[in-house]
């Protein structure tokens, strides 16, 4: 030991420059200082630039009038509304595309996955071709094909292509039959929601009772009756039908009635659904293939019918594998919906960019948008972690 050095340089007989505890702290402090210095450098430059060019850094602008129109919006919108409200409308558009897209992509993915697992050679290979083509072409190129190559090239309103349904395709977008709420809709809504909640509750309670007592309580049947029954009762006792069928009719210059998807929304949805559907197909296929043959054989040996095997053995085991990647595909779809900006659909990112062009508040707008996307994905991973912890196999 170098005894000529002062005592405070030693701890438990080890010199500080070789003491692991001290070294770890030094390493952490040094790296933290470096990162903070770098951030300080960036921010001081920003403040300088902001002062020199008169850029605002606050969020006060969110209250001023937006002044730009929006092609479509879930909530009523006009240019006199504020920037903050415009961003909110854009956010709702993003959510709308995501929810509809996730719903349709799951159906497409499920069909494609089942087709890929089919015993029919042709069906199997058609699905394989779909998956291998779609997954290897960038989504943005596909969106360009859908929007510029297909929806922009459709005939004008007067020569609209009519498909069974009736569905009309024209440059103005896609018109189809819609169910529009009438005056009595608000009376009927409680029945609908009540049916949903009660059927779920009844299912869970009856199932728990069945497991505990061993007596058959038919939870699925009761749940289904409640789910369909309550809204039907509500429909019957309402003075007028709460929903009304609305069919698009071609007028002089445009369609009236029905439900309309703008070409931008239709192209974005088509692109996202076809693209994500291919990925979902692979996820589902992988999950189903991951169930080992022994499990199914064991279920058969226990005397379960093939439907029971599917419901009680294959599906629960496959879902455990499928759900986590499936949810991250849903998240990808939501994030990919920001590509809408390239084909002119007004989602949150599009609105944000417009605000930057109009108000010049690049940084605050960007921080806001990134924070929203980030909270969506953090929320998703929270759900995912919760699910993973719940379904984790208890291994011995």
Partner 1 sequence: MATSESIITRPPQPGIVVWLKKNLFSNWLNTLLTVFSVTVIFLTARGLVNWIFVQADWAPVVQNLRLYAVGPYPAEQMWRVWVIVYMVSAMMGISAAKWGGTVLAFARALGVAYLLLALLPIALEYLGINTRLMLAGNLLAILAGYLAGSRLERRNRLKARWVLLAWLASFGLTILLLGGFQNVAVLPRVESGQWGGLMLTFLLATVGIVASFPIGVLLALGRQSKLPVVKAMCITFIEVVRGVPLVTILFMTSILLPLFLPDTLRIDRVLRAMLGMTLFAAAYMAENVRGGLQSISRGQYEAAHAMGLNNFQTTLLIILPQALRVVIPAIVGQFIALFMDTTLAIIIGLLELLAVGSAILNSNPQWLLLDMEVYAFIALIFWVFTYSMAYASRKVEQAVGLGIR
Write out the chain in H/E/C secondary structure. CCCCCCHHHEECCEEHHHCHHHHHHHHHHHHHHHHHHHHHHHHHHHHHHHHHHCCCCCCHHHHCECCCCCCCCCCCCCCCCEHHHHHHHHHHHHHHHHHHHHHHHHHHHHHHHHHHCCCCHHHHHHHHHHHHHHCCCCHHHHHHHHHHHHHHHCCCHHHCEEECCCEEEECCEEEECEEEECCCHHHHHHHHHHHHHHHHHHHHHHHHHHHHHCCCCCHHHHHHHHHHHHHHHHHHHCCCCCEEEECCEECCCCEECCEEECHHHHHHHHHHHHHHHHHHHHHHHHHHHHCCHHHHHHHHHCCCCHHHHHHHHHHHHHHHHHHHHHHHHHHHHHHHHHHHHHCCCCCHHHHHHHHHHHHCCHHHHHHHHHHHHHHHHHHHHHHHHHHHHHHCCCCC
CA dihedral (62, 67, 71, 74) positive or negative: positive
Query: Per rule CB under 8 A, is residue 377 in the interface with partner 1?
Result: yes
Q: Which is nearer to partner 1, 107 or 342 (CB)?
A: 342
- Nearest approach, Cβ of 95 to partner 1 (angstroms)? 15
Query: Per rule CB under 8 A, is residue 228 in the interface with partner 1?
Result: no
Residues 308-367 that bind partner 1 (CB under 8 A): 335-336, 338-339, 341-342, 349, 353, 356, 362-363, 366
With CB under 8 A as the contact rule, the residue among 82, 118, 184, 256 that binds partner 1 is: 118
Query: Per rule CB under 8 A, is residue 153 in the interface with partner 1?
Result: yes
With CB under 8 A as the contact rule, the residue among 17, 18, 58, 121 that binds partner 1 is: 121
Query: Per rule CB under 8 A, is residue 123 in the interface with partner 1?
Result: yes
Cα–Cα distance measured from residue 258 to residue 250, given in angstroms and rounded to the nearest whole number: 10
With CB under 8 A as the contact rule, the residue among 142, 199, 354, 361 that binds partner 1 is: 142
Q: Which is nearer to partner 1, 240 or 342 (CB)?
A: 342
Q: Which is nearer to partner 1, 133 or 240 (CB)?
A: 133
With CB under 8 A as the contact rule, the residue among 5, 9, 11, 31 that binds partner 1 is: 31
| Number of residues in contact with partner 1 under rule CB under 8 A | 57
- Nearest approach, Cβ of 42 to partner 1 (angstroms)? 4
With CB under 8 A as the contact rule, the residue among 5, 15, 99, 132 that binds partner 1 is: 132
With CB under 8 A as the contact rule, the residue among 9, 21, 37, 46 that binds partner 1 is: 46
| Window contacting partner 1 (CB under 8 A); options: 122-130, 194-202, 284-292, 312-320 | 122-130
With CB under 8 A as the contact rule, the residue among 5, 42, 298, 383 that binds partner 1 is: 42
With CB under 8 A as the contact rule, the residue among 51, 99, 107, 148 that binds partner 1 is: 148
Contact positions toward partner 1, by CB under 8 A?
Answer: 24, 27-29, 31-32, 35, 42-43, 45-46, 48-50, 55, 118-123, 126, 132-133, 136-142, 144-145, 148-150, 152-153, 335-336, 338-339, 341-342, 349, 353, 356, 362-363, 366, 369-370, 373-374, 376-378
């Amino acid at each position: 030991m170098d005894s000529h050095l002062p005592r405070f340089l030693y701890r438990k007989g080890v010199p500080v420059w070789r003491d692991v505890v001290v070294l770890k702290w030094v390493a952490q402090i040094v790296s933290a200082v470096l990162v903070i210095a770098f951030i300080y450098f960036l921010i001081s430059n920003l403040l300088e630039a902001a002062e020199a060019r008169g850029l605002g850094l606050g969020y006060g602008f969110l209250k001023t009038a937006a002044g730009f129109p929006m092609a479509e919006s879930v909530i009523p919108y006009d240019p006199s509304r504020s920037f903050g409200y415009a961003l909110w409308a854009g956010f709702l558009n993003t959510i709308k595309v995501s929810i509809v897209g996730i719903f349709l992509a799951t159906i497409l993915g499920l069909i494609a996955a089942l087709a890929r697992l089919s015993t029919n050679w042709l069906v199997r290979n058609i699905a394989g071709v779909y998956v291998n083509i779609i997954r290897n072409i960038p989504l943005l190129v596909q969106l360009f094909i859908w929007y510029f190559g297909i929806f922009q090239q459709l005939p004008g309103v007067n020569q609209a292509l009519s498909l069974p349904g009736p569905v009309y395709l024209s440059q103005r977008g896609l018109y189809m039959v819609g169910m529009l709420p009438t005056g009595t809709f608000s009376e009927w809504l409680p029945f609908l929601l009540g049916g949903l909640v009660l059927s779920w509750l009844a299912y869970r309670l009856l199932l728990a009772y069945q497991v505990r007592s061993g007596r058959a309580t038919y939870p699925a049947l009761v749940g289904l009756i409640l789910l369909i029954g309550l809204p039907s009762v509500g429909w019957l006792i309402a003075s007028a039908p709460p929903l009304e069928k609305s069919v698009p009719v071609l007028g002089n210059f445009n369609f009236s009635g029905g439900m309309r998807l703008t070409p931008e929304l239709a192209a974005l949805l088509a692109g996202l659904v076809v693209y994500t559907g291919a990925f979902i197909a692979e996820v589902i296929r992988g999950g189903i293939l991951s169930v080992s043959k022994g499990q199914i054989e064991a279920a058969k040996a226990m005397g379960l019918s093939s439907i029971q095997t599917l419901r009680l053995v294959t599906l629960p085991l496959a879902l455990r594998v499928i759900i986590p990647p499936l949810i991250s595909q849903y998240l990808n779809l939501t994030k990919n919906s920001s590509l809408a900006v390239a084909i002119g659909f007004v989602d949150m990112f599009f609105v944000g960019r417009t605000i930057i062009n109009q108000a010049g508040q690049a940084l605050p707008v960007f921080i806001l948008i990134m924070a929203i996307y980030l909270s969506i994905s953090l929320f998703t991973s929270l759900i995912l972690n919760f699910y993973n912890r719940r379904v984790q196999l208890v291994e011995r």
